[in-house]
Amino acid sequence: MNPIAEVWFFNQGWQPHGFQKETWKAIATGRSGLLNAPTGFGKTFALWFGILQHYYEDKHFRRQQQKFKTTKLHALWITPLRALSKEIYKATQELSAELELDYRIELRTGDTTIAQRQKQRKSPPQALITTPESVHLILASKGAADYFKHLEFIVVDEWHELMGSKRGVLVELALSRLKAINPKLKIWGVSATIGNLEEAQEILLGKDHNGVLVRAQIQKKLSIETVFPDNLERFPWAGHLGIKLLDKVVDIVNRYGTTLIFTNTRSQAEIWYQHIITAYPEFAGLLAIHHGSLSDEIRQWVEQALHEGKLKAVVCTSSLDLGVDFRPVNCVVQIGSPKGIARFLQRAGRSGHRPYETSHIYYVPTNSLEIIEGDSLKYAVAHHIVEQRIPYIRSFDVLLQYLTTLAVGDGLEAHVVFEEVKKTHCFESITEDEFAQCMAMLVHGGKSLSAYPDFHRLVLVDGLYKVESRKLAMRHRLSVGAIVSDLMMRVKFMSGKYLGSIEESFISRLKAGDVFWFSGRQLELIQVRNIEAIVKPSTRRTGVVPSWMGGRFSISPDLGIAIRHSFSHIRKRTGKSDEIKFLQPLFKEQENRSGLPQEDELLVEYIHTKYGYHLFVYPFEGKLVHEGVAQVLAYRFGKIQPVTFSIASNEYGFELLSATPFSIDQALITELLSPKHLHKDITEGINVQEMARRRFRDIAGIAGLVFQGYPGKQMKSKHLQANAGLFFSVFEDYDPHNLLLRQAYDEVFDFQLEEGRMQRAFDRISSHRIVLTFPEKLTPFAFPIFSESFRERYSNEDWQSRLETLKLQLEGKFE
DNA sequence: GACCTGCTGCGGGTTG
């Protein structure tokens, strides 16, 4: 038994688990590894003990025998959140104090003051707790290699969270450098359970690693309950708010000590908060709200109050998904579909955050059909179905940033760094030629920008590429990182009248002439100019594009599988779960009006209403895929018959709506849904170029092509003119093989259109038997999709103002 | 007849 741990555990009155001993042993024998264990079982301590043991030469460490002293950085702990860094810092401070260790642990994030940073440079602590971005910032300073030379351990916390994003690429690249500086570096990762844990390990530790995978053999106890409405008849067929079940949620809150109420959107959180306070004024002061639009102060106040057990409940969004552990929380409520199994589990795990305590989660459906997800979630959890995290590959934007980082720091030797980079998972396939292209872009702007001196950034000095301009170096440090916030576009009439702002990601998907809803008006897009969308009022009925949203919020493929599984039970009448029994009347209705699809069937409904001619299709593939499938279908249809469609979709299916009748039969549907020539039809049927252009903005920002401006300062530089859109056009015209340009298109196909998933969906559908019905009225399946297209969109002004009043209320609390 | 969808995360500073 690890002697330091012994002391600690003795003092705590704890019994160490098998996985902790396994971790210590692995670390003691000089191995790297990945640790997977449920939250609340002391993963963090397990790793710290191993690291500390290594630090003290004397294996039989006792207080009086501290003899290892150094001013060298010994361990680096990377977390994805500043708040998490602080949490780990606090815990380790306590530990150090308890054991009277001579081991200095410090924090280094964006919050760290300049003075502290300077001190850390001069006399490094033994351990540094930090973020991926801050590690890159250290790499971007002189003497970085020296600073990291004695580093023995690196821990990447919540690796599953980083891996699926470009921040994961930042970590991969930093590791490649640190490993090169010190080949004996031991890497440890901490990951929640995901579908591809082995892959996660391989990406972190590198190919041919001989690290261990420590899996705790502890099953966290989890209780899942669906909250049912009193009767199905009075429960809405559509909608996503769930406020009808307010009283039942309050009942749950009353039964537990502290409850987190998760909603899917910020506005939904606001609405729930208001409704609870209005209906139950006794909750004033005991109920709080937490999401990304609130100020840091409010959020910190809420977190602190949660810690201290002062709150009865907090209504929140994903902002409380991760990180800080709130011991008093012993119940979680999920309003609406959690959209993914991993996220559902993650949220459930926010409660009962102690060994052997049960996590309680209540699932609150917001419309009739959604009730079924209660059954699907239980099925998925019971069968250990969890999503994978898909790592980014070939993110040349991050590579360009990284190369600049090195050049700002100690300077880089191209062929050395090429070999290092090639060992990462992300750039496994990079060729010498591609790397040379990257270098060329940094040295003289590459093929198309060499005429501009601003893009001659790297200079070769004694075999090392360096950034010599202090201005450029400074600017680079400011823009380190891979998080790009969504741009807001100003919506304006031709006269110049300003209507409001809207996510650029939405506008970028429209073509001139498309009609959309905004702030309660129906508008036609005339043109997009820089960051302005010029529109005019429209009354046109057809061609309305209600939304091509959902870029990020579709249900996961795995939850989709679980939902399809639940549906298969309904038709076969094998479902024994409460959810399926409860929904019988609804499905009866569906069957009477149209039909219920089996697992190997695809239901298609053709319905004529006063609004037009609707074609409803139900593949159960998630909203994102449905949007794409619908576009392709509409495009293919348009080539056969002259019909204009508007499109709507939800998690279960999609709708093509036309003002004019069209003819349809089984054979035609089969043909329209053929998986053949899919790539071609996507490219032609969807405005891929515009999507790539929008994607390119992020890429250009990360790559350092466009400078985002000094924080808090107005950007005056002429670089503003050289915006991403311009680069995109230049590359399209003069450098079509540009790596960043190609990356933009790849990302569109991989992440936005999810071409792979779409292809699989088409493949699956093509093997299904098509059941075509002609119902007289809208069916329970059709109604939610139908209502989707008749909703006002983007009138989020009123919840913004609600937000303001709330802020005022909360601020009153501070006094 | 039923309908208020769209999250989160990070981030300057020594060559006087």
pLDDT tens digits, A54-65: 777 654 444 444
pLDDT in tens, A361-402: 999 999 999 999 999 999 999 999 999 999 999 999 999 999
The one-letter code for the residue type at A130 is: T
pLDDT at residue A710, as a whole number: 57
Q: Which nucleotides of B are covered by protein (CB under 7 A)?
A: 1-15
A666 CA → B10 C1’, Å: 52
Q: Which two tokens stand for residue A471?
A: 């201005």
Does the pLDDT value for residue A721 go beyond 80? no
Identify the pLDDT of residue A3.
64
The model's confidence at residue A810, banded by pLDDT at 50, 70 and 90, is: very low
Q: In this structure, which topology does domain A221-382 adopt according to CATH?
A: Rossmann fold (3.40.50)
What pTM was estimated for this model as a whole?
A: 0.88
In this prediction, residue A714 has a pLDDT band, given cuts at 50, 70 and 90, of very low
Question: What is the sign of the dihedral through the CA atoms of A234, A237, A243 and A245?
Answer: positive
For chain A, helix, strand, coil in percent to 5 are 45, 15, 40
pLDDT of residue A43: 86
Tell if A141 CB is < 7 Å from nucleic strand B: yes
Token pair in block for residue A291: 């999401």
Report which residue is nearest nucleotide B3 when distances run from CA to C1': A239
User: Which SS3 state, helix, strand or coil, does residue A804 take?
Assistant: helix
Q: Which residue has the tokens 């960043």?
A: A740
* Token digits of residue A219: 């099953």
- DSSP string covering A184-237: T-EEEEE----TTHHHHHHHHH-TT---EEEE------EEEEEPPPS-STTS-S
Give the orientation angle of helix A43-55 with respect to helix A82-99, to 10 degrees.
Answer: 60
Strand B contact at CB of residue A165, distance < 7 A: yes
Among A35-49, A502-516, A566-580, A679-693, whose mean pLDDT is lowest? A502-516
Mark residues 533-592 of chain A whose C-beta is closer than 7 A to nucleic acid strand B: 547, 549-550, 552-554
A804-809 average pLDDT score: 47
Q: What span, in angstroms and rounded, lies between the C-alpha atoms of A362 and A227?
A: 7
The residue extents of the domains of chain A are 3-215, 221-382, 396-482+690-749, 488-537, 594-686+753-801
Please, are residues A311 and A305 in contact by the beta-carbon 8 Å criterion? yes
- Please determine, for residue A518, whether its predicted confidence score (pLDDT) is greater than 80: no
- What's the rounded mean pLDDT across residues A79-85? 92
What pLDDT, on a 0 to 100 scale, did the predictor assign at position A500? 66
Name the closest nucleotide to A117, judged by C1' and CA: B13
How far apart, in whole angstroms, are the C-alpha atoms of residue A594 and residue A198?
Answer: 45
Q: What is the mean pLDDT of residues A348-357?
A: 83
Percentage of chain A beyond pLDDT 70 is 87
Amino acid identity at A655: E
Determine whether the distance from the CB of A291 to the nearest atom of strand B is below 7 Å: yes
CA distance A47 to A499: 54
The reported pLDDT for the residue numbered A91 is: 86
- Looking at domain A3-215, what is its CATH homologous superfamily? P-loop containing nucleotide triphosphate hydrolases (3.40.50.300)
Pairwise pLDDT comparison (A575 vs A122), residue with the higher score: A122
Residues A118/A40, Cβ–Cβ less than 8 Å? no
Give pLDDT tens digits for A417-430: 999 999 999 999 99
CA–CA distance, A579 with A1 (Å, rounded to integer):
49
Is the predicted pLDDT of residue A812 greater than 80, yes or no?
no
Distance A805 CA to B3 C1' (A): 26
Distance of C1' in B11 from CA in A409, Å: 17
Whether A239 sits with its Cβ under 7 A from any strand B atom: the answer reads: yes
Q: Which residues in 198-227 of chain A line strand B, with CB less than 7 A from it? A: none
Strand B atom within 7 Å of A334 CB: no
Note the pLDDT of residue A718: 36
The A 619-638 residues near strand B by Cβ under 7 Å are 623
Residues 6 or more apart whose Cβ sits within 8 Å of residue A352: A40, A220, A221, A329, A330, A358, A359, A360
pLDDT, one tens digit per residue, over A233-280 is: 889 988 888 999 999 999 999 999 999 999 998 778 888 998 999 999
Provide the CA A355 to C1' B1 distance, Å, integer: 49
Q: A215-241: per-residue pLDDT in tens?
A: 988 878 899 999 999 989 889 988 888
In the predicted model, is pLDDT for residue A180 greater than 60?
yes
User: A460-464, A519-523, A596-600: lowest mean pLDDT where?
Assistant: A519-523
Determine contact, residues A423/A206, Cβ cutoff 8 Å: yes
- What DSSP element (H or E) covers A472? helix A470-478
Name the least confident of A317-326, A594-603, A655-664, A793-802: A793-802
Q: Please identify residues in chain A, positions 452-481, with a C-beta within 7 angstroms of any atom of strand B.
A: 470, 474, 477-481
Residue-wise DSSP of A255-302 = HSSEEEEE-SSHHHHHHHHHHHHHH-GGGTTTEEEE-TTS-HHHHHHH
The answer on pLDDT for A457 being more than 50 is yes
CA of A15 to C1' of B1 (A): 60
Average pLDDT of span A528-557:
66
Is pLDDT above 80 for A543? Answer: no
